[in-house]
Every structure is written in structure tokens, then in C-alpha cells.
Amino acid sequence: MVTLREAKLMGGIGSILILLPLVPYVGLTLTIVGLVLIAIAVNHISKAVNNPSIFRDFLIGFILSVIGIFVAFAAGLATFAIAFIRHTSVPGPMMGNVASILAGVIVFLVVLWVLMVLSAVFIRRSYSEIAKALKVGMFSTVGLLYLIGAATLIIVVGIIVLLIAFILQIVAFFEIPDELPKQQPIQPQSLV
């Protein structure tokens, strides 16, 4: 049986772990474990509230961000490899190499940015549904901050906004109730 208490703990701990990428030797591992814990927590929430779109949207956003990172890394690596090959094989001024490196860097940053914004749209959708289902408004705020952070990532301000979103995500997960909130019966309203 999936419980919200498990989702609360896994999501909260996972959210803390994703803030530790700079820890020597284990930072990347802790971040990956944190992301997996958050994904499992969102899946548990999705099952607990019987809304598969919560996990589906989160998973699409998660996959888009992973693809964005890999595409950006591959594009950056290819750009520098091509520039290095050109530099070592063609003697003369480096101006053409600098221009090709700059163009490659711009392309890979734009691709990364677009995929991160698309990812944030899906994560926001997922977190908005969690906020409605569990009556934890902080999830809606975190989703919005993810979107704003991803959109402003290209002007570097987004890094600060995303950091705030990651911190508030910890709060959001720990605010999850242990039991599903009771649904209020809808009262018919008179037209008089």
C-alpha cells in the first residue's frame, strides 16, 4: 500500500539530496539518488490520489531535462572537438576557430534552455495537480518558480530562482499530510 507518509519522506530527503552536487566525491551520486527519490515520491502521490497524469507529467519533464543535459553536453563536446581538430590541422589565425566555438556554445546553450523550459512546463503541471489534490499550495509555488527559473536561466538569474525552487520543494514535500485531505461535499447554491 502506497502511503503519503512514504512520499513525504522520500520527496523531502530527495529534495535535500539534490542540493548537494558540490560535495566532494559523492555529490553527483547524491544528486542522482535525490532525483530518483523525488520521482518515486511523485509516483506514490500520483497513485495515492488516483491521478496518473501527475506522474506522467513529472516523468516527461524529468526526461526532457535529462535529454537537455545530454544534448548540451554532447553538443559542447562536439564543438570543442571540431575546433581542436581545425586548430591542429589548419595553420594560421584562430579567428575562424573562435567564431565556430562561439557559435557551437550558443547553439548548445539555446538547445539546453529550450529543453529546460519544456521540462519546467511539465513539472509545473505535475506540481499544480499535486497542490490541488493534497491542498499543499507550496507545490504550486515550486512549479511556478521552476518555470520562471528555467525561462530566466538564459540570463543567469534563473540559477537563483531555481535554487529557491529547490529549497521550497523541501518545504512542500514535508508539508504533505500523512492522510489524504477529506473532500468537502459540494453544497448546492440557491439562485435567489
Spatial separation of the C-alpha atoms in residues 41 and 6, rounded to whole Å: 7
Q: Could you list the residue range(s) of the whole structural domain that residue 18 is in?
A: 4-174
Distance of alpha carbon 98 from the chain centroid: 32
Which long-range contacts does 150-158 make (Cβ < 8 Å, 24+ apart)?
Answer: 150/113, 150/116, 150/117, 150/119, 150/120, 151/117, 151/120, 153/113, 153/116, 154/109, 154/110, 154/113
CB 64 within 8 A of CB 119: yes
pLDDT tens per residue, range 108-137: 888 889 999 999 999 999 999 999 999 999
Does 187 map to a domain?
A: no
Number of domains, the chain: 1
**pLDDT confidence of 78, banded at 50, 70, 90?**
confident
189 in a structural domain: no
The arithmetic mean of pLDDT across residues 183-187, rounded, is: 62
Indicate whether 69 belongs to any domain: yes
Q: Residues 2-18: what's their mean pLDDT?
A: 93
Res 35: pLDDT: 94
pLDDT digit string (tens) for 42-72?
999 999 999 999 999 999 999 999 998 888 7
Query: Is residue 182 situated within a structural domain?
Result: no
- pTM greater than the 0.85 cutoff: no
Instruction: Answer whether residue 186 is part of any domain.
Output: no
Whether 20 maps to a domain, the answer reads yes
Q: Is residue 103 part of a domain?
A: yes
Q: Is residue 86 situated within a structural domain?
A: yes
pLDDT of the residue at 38: 97
Q: Which residues contact 105 (CB under 8 A, 6 or more apart)?
A: 76, 79
| Contact assessment for residue 87 and residue 105, using Cβ atoms and an 8 Å cutoff | no
Q: What is the pLDDT of residue 86?
A: 67
Q: What share of the chain has pLDDT > 70, as a percent?
A: 87
